Amino acid sequence: MELIKAQRGTQDMLPSQAGKWQAVESVMRSEAEISGFREIRTPVFEDTRLFQRSVGETTDVVQKEMYTFEDKGGRSITLKPEGTAGAVRAYLEHGLFNEPMPVKVYYITPCYRYERAQAGRLREFHQFGVEMFGSALPVADAGLIAFAHSLFERLCVKNLTLKINSIGCPSCRKQYAEALKAYFTQNKDRLCETCLSRLDRNPMRILDCKSPECAEVAKDAPHILGYLCDDCRSHFEEVKDLLDSIGIEYEVDPTIVRGLDYYTRTVFEFVSNDLGAQSTVCGGGRYDGLVEEMGGAKTPALGFALGIERLLLVMEAQKVQFPEEEPCELYIASIGNAARKKAFQLVQRLRECAVEAACDEMDRSLNAQMKYAGKIGAKFTLVLGDDELASGKGVIKNMKTGEKKDIDLNDNFEEQFAAISSEAEDFGDLKF
């Protein structure tokens, strides 16, 4: 029979990679919490209009990449292509604006984009993201960038370039849009069909079109920085000054406009020099108009998200050492049914004390059980047979040193094992 394979652009996270995912996720959670962000989980699917309104009708994401379908009730549903829209919806729907400002949330979520799959560009991928509502101050922008910066440091990721830009506010952008429109109109015959339709509605979107022809035209387009109003310019100056004051290096890159419509003022990306085409590991910025556009009060806000798969690609390319997986502490081999029952009972007692222990679940011979214990890297072994059952005594063997220690099988087994184990002090959660 034909084996059904995973869908193009999706990846299985296999047990052999679980340690890496858990390690990076735990650093993300702890860094987020240190900076005052609390977790939010929003559904994987939402009303399609949520993304059309927030991400924007003329973006690549909405025009080309959304997983949209009609559900059995005839509603148009979309799998989330990013995390910000759902977080903003939840912020409004549950009145999080009543909490002390700024409201700071973080999430780890799968996202879905129907893109041409390649290394680092998937149709299902995972984002770690943070969103912060309520602050218009440059300290919030610089603080958020500093947060991402220190997260990468804690993850031992090197060789990232931080690129920042300001894309202004709707008022300075009006003039800029005119200038862009004039420029792209002159080069109309080189634009793709989607970009032709963007010319009148949102010429800034042409700047991040993925078609190579459009990208070539976009190279010589006017830059937003020349069009910033006084307020936006001084906001950007202050963000840069704050970054300078804590020694965070950055490049001002006026070509960064981001692919989503909701951004205002500061935008930034962390770009890796160790990835191929898909080199942006993290992106974000301010979106001061979005909450109001979604039906809330005028609320400045900002955030960023990083792609976990891309992050792991960079970490693997840089050979970052991940924490070793904890091996099995004790494997209890057994000969015969009565001994297997005893092994089963002892294993349960150890597991109650949070000690990783295992016994035969495959009806293997003693020889095969010991081989298995070696394969799973058991630190200690104990063999139970009729003699051990009769005497109530066994021998714990240290698999690394060969050292043997007697153990009483009936009296305080867990405490004796903890004392024997050279790692006894690592049993953080043991409750004896």
Tell me: does residue 83 bind ligand HAM (CB under 6 A). Answer: yes
Q: Cite the DSSP H helix spans in 35-169.
A: 48-54, 60, 84-93, 138-154
Give the C-alpha separation, 410 to 109, whole Å: 47
Question: What secondary structure letter does DSSP report for 224?
Answer: G
Assess 135 for contact with ligand HAM (CB under 6 A). no
Give the total of residues touching ligand HAM (CB under 6 A): 27
Cβ neighbors of 104 (< 8 A, separation 6 or more) are 35, 36, 37, 38, 130, 131, 132, 133
CB contact at 8 A, 202 and 151: no
Q: Is 148 in the site for ligand HAM (CB under 6 A)?
A: no
Binding of ligand HAM at residue 168 (CB under 6 A)?
no
Q: Could you give the residue ranges of the DSSP H alpha helices within 207-273?
A: 212-218, 230-245
The answer to whether 269 touches 259, Cβ cutoff 8 Å, is no
Applying CB under 6 A, which of residues 56, 86, 102, 129 lies at the interface with ligand HAM?
Answer: 129
300-339 residues in contact with ligand HAM (CB under 6 A) are 303-307, 309-310
Least distance from ligand HAM to the Cβ atom of residue 97, Å: 17
Q: Among residues 251 and 361, whose Cβ is nearest to ligand HAM? A: 251
Residues comprising the chain, all counted: 432
Give me the amino acid identity at 191. Answer: L
Q: How far apart are CA 355 and CA 426, in angstroms?
A: 10
Q: Give the H/E segment covering residue 42.
A: none
Residue 60 touching ligand HAM (CB under 6 A):
no
Check residue 133 for interaction with ligand HAM (CB under 6 A).
Answer: no
Residues 22-41, interacting with ligand HAM (CB under 6 A)? none
Interface with ligand HAM, residue 102, by CB under 6 A: no
Candidates 60, 115, 141, 360; binder of ligand HAM (CB under 6 A) is 115
Q: Is position 280 an interface residue for ligand HAM (rule: CB under 6 A)?
A: yes
Q: How far apart are CA 209 and CA 186, in angstroms?
A: 17
Residue of 88, 122, 257, 291 interacting with ligand HAM (CB under 6 A): 122
Q: How many CB atoms lie within 10 A of CB 94?
A: 11
Question: Given candidates 31, 52, 58, 82, which one binds ligand HAM under the rule CB under 6 A?
Answer: 82
Q: Identity (one letter) of the amino acid at 228? A: L
Residue 33: CB partners within 8 Å, gap ≥ 6? none
Rg (CA), the chain: 28
CB nearer to ligand HAM: pick between 86 and 394:
86
Residue 121 or 240 having the CB closest to ligand HAM? 121
Comparison of 127 and 421: residue with beta carbon closer to ligand HAM: 127
Taking CB under 6 A as the binding criterion, the range among 152-160, 209-217, 275-283, 343-351 that sits at the site for ligand HAM is 275-283
Cβ nearer to ligand HAM, comparing 62 with 122: 122
Contacts with ligand HAM by CB under 6 A lie at 82-84, 113, 115, 120-122, 125, 127, 129, 131, 259-260, 280-285, 303-307, 309-310
